[in-house]
Every structure is written in C-alpha cells, then in structure tokens.
C-alpha cells in the first residue's frame, strides 16, 4: 500500500498545471462540422493544431478529394491529413496525408478508407484519436507548430501499412529505407487559392518512422511502381509495409517547410526531436490551456456547461487564424517563403485570412487582448506589401480574388492607433494610401475596384462592370474613415485629412430616401429602377439592402440623421426582426447557402450567418434604447450558437462568427474597431476574470445573471456608476472591475441620453 501511495504521489507531482483547472475540457472541435455546400453550420473541420500553427491537421472523411474534407455524417476515415484550408470555399494547398491500413496494398481514398464511429473518436485541440474498424487500428496524432507525431496501434500482421499521399500537382516522393524515412514535397493547390502561384511553390515534408520497413512501393501517375523515388508526377505517394505484433505501436514524426528540405529537417529537430507522443500531446494541451485560462469563466454549474463549451470552443477557433507562414532558421532568425515572389526573405508572414470577415471582431479582439500578436501581424502585412506591392485582403497563401472592400485599412489603423505600434509605420501608411487610390490590375478584391468612379462620383456605380458596387462603396467609406484617423495620428497634411474626411461620408450617396435604405446607383446618379430591399446580390455581397444598410460603422448618427432621426432609425432597426425571412434570389439566380441559412433560423431579416449585419444589434446603443441591444444579443447567443456539430448558423469564417460570440459574452462589441470603443451588450456569465497581456486583471461581474435576467439595470466601473453605452480601449486595458446589475425587465432610464451613446463621425469622438 505504501508503495502504491508513493507511486501515486510521484504521478500526481508530475501532472501539468492544467489538470487542476482544465479549460481545454470545454473545447469541442467537432462544432460546425455538419455541413454541405447548400447549408453551412460552420463549414469547419476538426482542426488539430497549435495556436496560429503553420500547419493544421484533420481526419479526412471525403472519398473524392472534395473541399468538404470532413463531414460529421460521413462514415469512413480515409486519412489523417495535414491541411492549410481556411475554408472549403477557398480550397486547400500544400497537403500531405497518412493512413494506416492492414492487408492488401491500396492507395486511393475510396480504396483505403475505413469505417469509424464518433463513439470511438476522441477530439481535442491538440489531439485526435480514432478506431479504424476495418483494420483494427487505433490512429492518433498530436501537432507542433510545423510538425506532428502520429501513433498507430496495429494488430498482429505481416502487412501493416502506412499510405503516404502527396496529392496531385507535380509532387515528389523519395523513400530512404536505411533511415526509416520518407521525404518529398507537394505543390497541390485547388479552389481559387492562391492566385498567381510562384513556380517554385512547394510544401516540403520529412516523415520519420521508428521501425524498419519490410516493403516499400511508390504510387506514381495513377499506379504502383517499384523504386525509391518518384518525381513530377500527377499524383505521388508511397505505401510502407511493416511486420507488427498484436497491439504494437508505430510512431511517425513529421515536419514540413515551405522553404526547403533542410528547413523541414530543422523544424523536425527543433519542435519534435526525440519527444514521445504523450509528451508532445501534453505540451500542446498545456499551450492551449495557457491561452484559454486567460479568460476564466467562473460559472461552473451544470446548466452552464453548454455555454462554457460554446465560449471556449469559440476562443479556440479564433486562435487558429491567421496562421504563421514564417519559420526559424538554424540561428533562430525568422524567415519566410514569399507566396508573392517565390523568394526566401527575412521577417514574419501570416496567411489564411479574409479581412472582409475578420476586420469586424477578430482583429479587434487581438488588439485588445493580444497586442503583441497584432504588432507581429502588422510586420507581416508590411512584408506582404513590400513583396507584392499591395496590402492583402484575402490571402491563402497569396492574394485571393474573393470578397470586397479594402479592410486592411481598418486592421492597420486600429493596431497603430490603439496599441501605439511604431514599427513599419511609414511603409504601412504608404500601403493604405496606395490602396485608397488604386485597383489591382487582375484581382478585384485587392486595392479598390471602381476607384476612379468612386473618387469622382463618391460611389461605385452599378453600370461600370464592377460587381457588388454598393457593398464596396459602404466599406470604402469606412476604410477612408480609418485612413483619416491614421492621417490624424501621423499628422499628415490638412489636404490629405480633408480628402479622407469627405470620402468618409460617401455612404450618404447610396441612401435611398424612399426606402430609407442603401441602394445601388448608376453613373448618372439614378437609383436602380427595380430596387427591391429583399434582393440578394447585385449591388451587394452575399446579402441584401436590409443587411448592408447598417454598414456605416463609423457614423451611426449620420445614418440616423438620414433616416429621419432617432425614432425613425429605431423603427428601422426593429423592422429587421419583425419582418419575415423573405428573400429574392436576385443576381444569384438560385438559393445560395447564405440565403437558406437566414431563412431557416426564423430571425427575420437578421442574417447572422453572414458578417455584414452582425454588428447591427448593437446600434440600439446609439438611439437611446440599449435594452434592445441587450435582449437581441442574448437571443442570438442562445438561439444561434450551440456546442454541437450544427453549432453555427452560417460560415464561421476564420474566427469572425466565434469572435462575435466571445466578445458579446463579455458584454461588449467593437462596432467601429478603429475608434477603440466597445458598444455595451449583455454579459453572458455571472463572473469572468480576464488576464490582460500587461498582466493586469479585468473582472466582469454579473452575479444575478440568468437566462431571464438579460437586461442591464446598472453598471459600475471600478466602483463608480457608469451610464455610457460603451467602454473604451483604455478602460479595458487598464484592467479593474466591471459590475453589472442584471434584471428581467428593460431598464429604460439607463443609457438613454445623447452623452451615453458611443461616438460617431457626425458627433465628437470621446477622449480615450
């Protein structure tokens, strides 16, 4: 007994800190994986990775190489896959996969797949395990930033195999039996990413086994061949065979690089080395817990479990993107492969992000809680501009022709203004200024399509061959406001400031007085004669006028004045929820998944499954009725998010839909990110303590919070009554205590004055 107790004490002493408070326990990577092209519940795959990891890993269930590589309803696992896919709409690039099999030598997905059950599947942020029923094999993996360890537990067999798939696109595979190693590269890209790929784009991989091979076979151009090396093949790979005893484990160490084989070997040595599987898994678990524990929710009752799972799963999703594209050389110097010119260059680089989505809440979250990351990210933006001549708007890993706006201006200006970033200041100003006046010659999402007309008329017309003109105009106007704020910060000339001050009001040109909504106009100034506010597409991007008319992030008071005052804007806001979810397919000619997602959730015209309208709920803070923000925020959190495979109401989009939930659960949201103001909502939990990057604590208390008590009766900041409908960046970064008194009835005496509302371009900006 003494010996047993001593052994237990030694074991307990060796356990990591996360065993005492394990926030990873709440993360469900399976959320959002019940998808198809016609209806998105997140359009996600179980992402096994480290925060901002260069590589992600996932079980692949698709049999045909489809971009929906994991679907919850599928029945077969066909590979454990390294993926860089930020979205099924963007496609994947630089992939490699492994799959254990037993028996007959097979290679293609529809031949090598195995039945599996979610009952025999274990998924965590840094661990995946599954039982492959057809082979009696347990397959596991745990990643590092640029590598992974896999562990396969085989039955007794002389034909235990591992299939290595380098996919299509002039891949290369070399088997080195004497070193128990496979090296190779894959050049595959598909979907619409990346645009204008350099000829030397390669994802180099090194795969090291801990057991000698008994047989090896190459896959080359659609069939098996003998030999040890295969190059310039339409699809390359290998099948490695072992002789195994019952329950024998084979460990596979993998690392990749976009730079070279030598760099892949260096990444393998630095990040994995001789670590055992369980050690790497524990390290990954601890790293995730270090991040999640910074946002310590202290509601631990049974009825809060689902909300805790949703909250921490959303945090996990936010910290996956944008991924690092840089690596560390032998001297620890940061280097990266440039997807823009194919060179190996110094400095940081990030990829797999669409700013049309993430400028709204993801990057504001980083500005507030991860300012050092925001600084590093701006370094990557500066490098992108140096190497391509443009700021990115959608990268994966090069410029992608997707979505609209030049919202990099919001990300650059916000990080500089709110966190005082000084590095690369001049080059970043040059970049945003260029973007404001130029259109990319071939990629409509980079720079500003229609800029000549926008500059001359104050809007992008509908009749010049530029798609989604109204959406572009509205976002350009906000981006011009961001450039104005940056110009003021950098003390640019009055002439420059005056120009951007005028352009920030360009949204006014699209206001249709008859409908009190935004509408497209032609180059002669005429509104569309057949304008229908319910029509999707056309002048708008994945939405209709009811969704986009609120995209005046920087000037809600100006919008209110156009609508006819506070009472009328309130009526228009209310109408979004009162109207049925009717629609006109418009220019799409079919019911796209965003339309269907709005229709089925029965939330009126509030299409939370797509980004343009997500901030609209918070606009009640500007019209003196904050209790409506509080009510609708809590309704959206309750009805549109859940910790299940169908847990989202649309595309999650690189963390944006998750960021809305996380920030809303804290009780505030950055409607206009560059202003450093966070409109108040309704905190979800009774208590949360946030550890800020500067080491200070921000405590959010709402002790009488409940599903019924969604309204804010009063708020105090550090013990002092606080009547405003927003918090500032400065208040939050200083830490301290927010005390919310919650009630089940609207508090119509709080936050109703003009001085309580957040700032607006048409009214003075408060002193931060």
Match 């690092």 to its residue by tokens: 324
Buried b (16+ CB within 10 A) or exposed e, 423-437: ebbeebbebbbbbbe
Q: DSSP secondary structure string, 219-254?
A: EETTEEE-SSEEEEEEEEEEEEEEEE-TTEEEEEEE
In angstroms, the CA 573 to CA 1 distance is 70
Taking residue 298's Cβ as centre, other Cβ atoms within 10 Å add up to 12
Q: Which of 33, 40, 134, 102 is nearest to 248 (CA)?
A: 102
| Whole-number pLDDT of residue 461 | 98
DSSP 166: E
| Whole-number pLDDT of residue 21 | 87
Please calculate the CA angle 236-145-138 and round it to the nearest 5 degrees.
Answer: 65
Q: Which of 111, 130, 112 is nearest to 46 (CA)?
A: 130
| Whole-number pLDDT of residue 16 | 41
Buried b (16+ CB within 10 A) or exposed e, 99-119: bbbbeebbbbbeebbbebeee
| Whole-number pLDDT of residue 303 | 65
CA 397 to chain centre: 14
Domain spans, the chain: 46-293
Please calculate the CA angle 418-421-427 and round it to the nearest 5 degrees.
Answer: 120
Do β-strands 697-701 and 736-743 pair in parallel, antiparallel, or remain unpaired?
parallel
For 426, the token pair is 């001049």
Match 């049999």 to its residue by tokens: 63
Contact 561, 611 (CB under 8 A): no
Peptide bond into 80 cis (omega under 30): no
For 538, the token pair is 């056309």
CA 480 to chain centre: 24
Domain 46-293, what fold? Beta-galactosidase; Chain A, domain 5 (2.70.98)
In angstroms, the CA 651 to CA 654 distance is 9
β-pair partners for 100: 162
Do β-strands 668-669 and 677-680 pair in parallel, antiparallel, or remain unpaired?
antiparallel
Q: Which of 696, 736, 739 is nearest to 714 (CA)?
A: 739
Query: Phi, psi at residue 144, to the nearest 5°?
Result: -110, -170
CA 301 to chain centre: 30
Residue 461 to residues 172, 467, 585, Cα–Cα distance (Å): 49, 9, 21
pTM metric for this prediction: 0.95
β-pair partners for 8: none
For 617, the token pair is 């709920």
| Whole-number pLDDT of residue 389 | 96
Contact 320, 369 (CB under 8 A): no
Low-confidence ranges of the chain (pLDDT < 50): 1-19, 191-194, 765-768
């Amino acid at each position: 007994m003494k010996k047993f107790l001593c052994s237990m004490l030694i074991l307990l002493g060796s356990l990591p800190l996360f065993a005492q408070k394990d926030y990873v326990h709440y993360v469900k990577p399976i959320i959002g994986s019940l998808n198809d092209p016609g209806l998105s519940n997140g359009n996600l795959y179980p992402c096994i990775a480290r925060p901002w990891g260069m590589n992600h890993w996932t079980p692949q269930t698709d049999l045909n190489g489809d971009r929906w590589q994991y679907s919850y309803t599928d029945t077969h696992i066909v590979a454990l896959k390294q993926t860089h896919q930020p979205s099924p709409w963007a496609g994947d690039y630089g992939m490699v996969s492994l799959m254990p099999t037993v028996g007959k030598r097979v290679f293609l997905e529809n031949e090598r797949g195995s039945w599996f059950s979610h009952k025999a599947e274990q998924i965590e942020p840094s661990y995946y395990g599954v039982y492959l029923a057809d082979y009696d094999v347990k397959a596991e993996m745990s990643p590092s930033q640029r590598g992974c360890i896999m562990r396969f537990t085989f039955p007794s067999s002389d034909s235990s195999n591992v299939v290595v798939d380098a996919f299509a696109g002039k891949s290369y595979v070399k088997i080195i039996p004497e070193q128990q190693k496979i090296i190779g590269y894959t050049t595959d890209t598909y979907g619409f990413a990346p645009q204008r790929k350099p000829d030397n784009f390669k994802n180099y991989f090194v795969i090291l086994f801990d057991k000698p091979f008994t047989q090896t076979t190459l896959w080359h151009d659609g069939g098996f061949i003998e030999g040890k090396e295969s190059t310039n093949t339409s699809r390359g790979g290998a099948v490695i065979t072992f002789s195994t005893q019952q329950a024998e484990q084979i460990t596979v160490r993998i690392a990749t690089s976009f730079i070279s084989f030598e760099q892949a070997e260096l990444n393998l040595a630095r990040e994995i080395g001789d670590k055992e599987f369980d050690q790497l898994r524990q390290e990954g678990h601890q790293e995730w817990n270090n991040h999640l524990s910074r946002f310590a929710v202290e509601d631990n009752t049974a009825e809060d479990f689902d909300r805790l799972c949703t909250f921490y799963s959303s945090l996990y999703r936010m910290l996956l993107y944008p991924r690092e594209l840089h690596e560390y050389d032998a001297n620890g110097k940061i280097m990266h492969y440039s997807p823009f010119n194919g060179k190996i260059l110094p400095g940081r680089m990030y990829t797999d992000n669409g700013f049309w989505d993430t400028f709204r809440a993801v990057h504001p979250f980083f500005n507030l809680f991860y300012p050092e990351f925001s600084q590093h990210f701006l370094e990557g933006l500066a490098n992108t501009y140096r190497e391509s001549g443009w700021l990115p708007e959608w990268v994966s890993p090069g410029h992608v022709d997707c979505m609209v706006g030049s919202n990099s201006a919001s990300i650059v200006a916000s990080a500089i203004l709110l966190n005082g970033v000084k590095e690369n200041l001049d080059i970043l100003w040059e970049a945003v200024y260029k973007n404001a006046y130029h259109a990319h010659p071939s990629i409509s999402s980079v720079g500003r399509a229609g800029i000549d007309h926008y500059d001359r008329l104050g809007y992008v017309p509908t009749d010049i061959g530029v798609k989604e003109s109204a959406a572009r105009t509205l976002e350009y106007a906000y981006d011009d406001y961001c450039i104005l704020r940056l110009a003021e910060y950098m003390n640019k000339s009055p002439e420059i400031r005056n120009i951007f001050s005028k352009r920030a009001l360009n949204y006014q040109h699209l206001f249709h007085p008859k409908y009190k909504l935004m509408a497209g106009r032609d180059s002669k100034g005429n509104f569309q004669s057949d304008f229908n506010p319910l029509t999707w597409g056309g002048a708008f991007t994945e939405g209709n006028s009811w969704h986009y008319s609120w995209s005046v992030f920087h000037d809600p008071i100006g919008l209110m004045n156009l609508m006819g005052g506070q009472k009328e804007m309130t009526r228009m806001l209310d109408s979004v929820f009162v109207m049925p979810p009717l629609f006109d397919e418009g220019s799409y000619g079919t019911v796209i998944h965003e339309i269907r997602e709005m229709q089925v959730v029965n939330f009126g015209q509030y299409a939370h499954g797509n980004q343009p309208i997500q901030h609209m709920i918070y606009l009640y803070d500007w019209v003196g009725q904050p209790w409506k923000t509080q009510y609708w925020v809590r309704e959206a959190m309750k009805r549109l998010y859940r910790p299940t495979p169908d847990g989202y109401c649309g595309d999650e989009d690189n963390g944006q839909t998750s960021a809305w939930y996380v920030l809303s659960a804290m009780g505030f949201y950055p409607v206009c990110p560059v202003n450093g103001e966070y409109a108040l909502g309704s905190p979800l939990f009774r208590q949360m303590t946030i550890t800020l990057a500067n080491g200070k604590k921000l405590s959010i208390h709402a002790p009488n919070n409940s599903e019924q008590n969604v309204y804010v009766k009063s708020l105090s900041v550090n013990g002092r009554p606080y009547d405003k409908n927003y918090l500032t960046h400065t208040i939050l970064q200083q830490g301290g205590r927010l005390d919310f008194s919650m009630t089940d009835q609207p508090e119509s005496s709080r936050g109703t004055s003009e001085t309580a509302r957040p700032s607006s371009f048409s009214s003075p900006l408060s002193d931060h």
